[in-house]
Amino acid sequence: MQTRKLGKNGPEVSALGLGCMGMSSGYGPAAEKGPMIALIRSAVERGVTFFDTAEAYGPFANEELVGEALAPVRDHVVIATKFGFGIRPDGTRYGLDSRPDHIRQVTEASLRRLNVETIDLLYQHRVDPNVPIEDVAGTVKGLISEGKVRHWGLSEAGARTIRRAHAVHPVAAIQSEYSLWTRDPEPEILPLCEELGIGFVPWGPLGAGFLTGKIDSATTFDSSDFRASCPRFTPEAREANQALVALLGRIAKRKEATPAQVALAWLLAQKPWIVPIPGTTKPHRLDENLGATEVQLSPSDLREIEEAASRITVQGARLPEEILKLTGR
């Protein structure tokens, strides 16, 4: 497995990480614990060293799962987790909460659930408009000086917020949705990351499964699957957006690859400090995703994809409106 460095201040990790959220939440009922531990350990055996979780996934259960799965190889992997939501002990939420005292409470709880002495990468999950980002950055800076956190980052933050946060303590990574059908970070965030030497971690690099080519207008979703309420996953939007899958399919056929592999290879080709974190609960999909690192897209391939994609208008907002409102500025 190839490795990449997350910006000039971040850790060195495998070129592809593993997003673990879907093992516990987001895409329907939680998967069985045993097979998921086996899947995570299989990823390690295949060279993956970067694993993404959060207290909100479950809530709480995903951190425990990841901590147990990676305990035997703790010193050889990088674990990223997140704070930022207000979550009661019973798992119910009360909005955003990045108050300094709450950040410290969440960090201590995450350390226990992950069964680690230090969190490798701690993100603010969503920007809290009620707490100045300088206070957030200062709190995490203190946690870093205490040895409880190594690096920190922001998720779905805007350019102004990133600059202000970075001025207090260097930001190692920005995590936001990014794929061939969600290109929001390109105008401002990616250039800013390059300017400041910050790594970028695309979540949803396969469009929540859509870019694999395995979802069509007839696909149904469990009521607990976020895609059931996502505008981009209405039957009409899925039908309209098949043009993007067809584009990936054409390139994949030529490369003797799959659409998912081409989608991931496209991301890897954008910048050397981009590290996608595709998630899965299926061993064969893990193998498929990791195979993307062997797919080489030439400059002419990339131009072809760019020219064709520019003629496709993606239908539907990427997330429900109430979640989009949590995107930082």
Q: Distance between alpha carbon 42 and the CA centroid of its chain, in Å? A: 20
pLDDT digits (tens, 9 = 90+) for 145-177: 999 999 999 999 999 999 999 999 999 999 999
Calculate Rg over the CA atoms of the chain. 19
Rounded distance, CA 93 to CA 46, Å?
36
Would you say the pTM of this structure is higher than 0.85? yes
Burial readout 63-94 (b: 16 or more C-beta within 10 A, e: otherwise): bbbbbbbbeeeeeebbbbbbbbbebeeeeeee
Asked if residues 198 and 174 have their Cβ atoms less than 8 Å apart, the reply is: yes
What are the φ/ψ torsions at residue 104 (nearest 5 degrees)?
-65, -40
Instruction: Give the fold, CATH level 3, of 3-324.
Output: TIM Barrel (3.20.20)
pLDDT for residue 327 is more than 80: no
CA atoms within 13 A on the CB side of 297: 26
Whether residue 17 has pLDDT greater than 80: yes
pLDDT at 176: 98
Statement: residue 328 has pLDDT above 90: no
- DSSP characters over 188-257: THHHHHHHHTBEEEEESTTGGGGGGT---TT----TTBGGGG-GGGSHHHHHHTHHHHHHHHHHHHHHTS
The span from the CA of 9 to the CA of 172, in Å, is 5
Q: Answer for the pair 13, 43: CB distance below 8 angstroms, yes or no.
A: no
- What does the DSSP 8-state code read for residue 294? G
- Helix, strand, coil distribution of the chain in percent, nearest 5: 45, 15, 40
- Which whole number is the average pLDDT over 94-123? 98
Catalytic site residue from 27, 57, 123, 178: 57
pLDDT band at 246 (very low <50, low <70, confident <90, very high): very high
**C-alpha distances in angstroms, 6 versus 12, 13, 122, 272?**
6, 7, 13, 9
Measured CA to CA, the distance from residue 279 to residue 21 in angstroms comes to 7
The pLDDT > 70 percentage for the chain reads: 100
- The separation between the first and the last C-alpha atoms of the chain, rounded to the nearest angstrom, is 35
Q: Does 252 score more than 90 pLDDT?
A: yes
The token pair that represents 36 in the structure block: 């998921």
Q: Name the packing angle between helices 33-45 and 61-70 (round to 10°).
A: 50
Question: Crossing angle, helix 100-114 and helix 133-145, to 10 degrees?
Answer: 40
Residue 320: pLDDT band (50, 70, 90) is: confident
**Residue 57 known to be catalytic:** yes
pLDDT value at position 283? 98
Task: Judge contact between 189 and 214, C-beta under 8 A.
Answer: no
pLDDT in tens, 263-272: 999 999 999 9
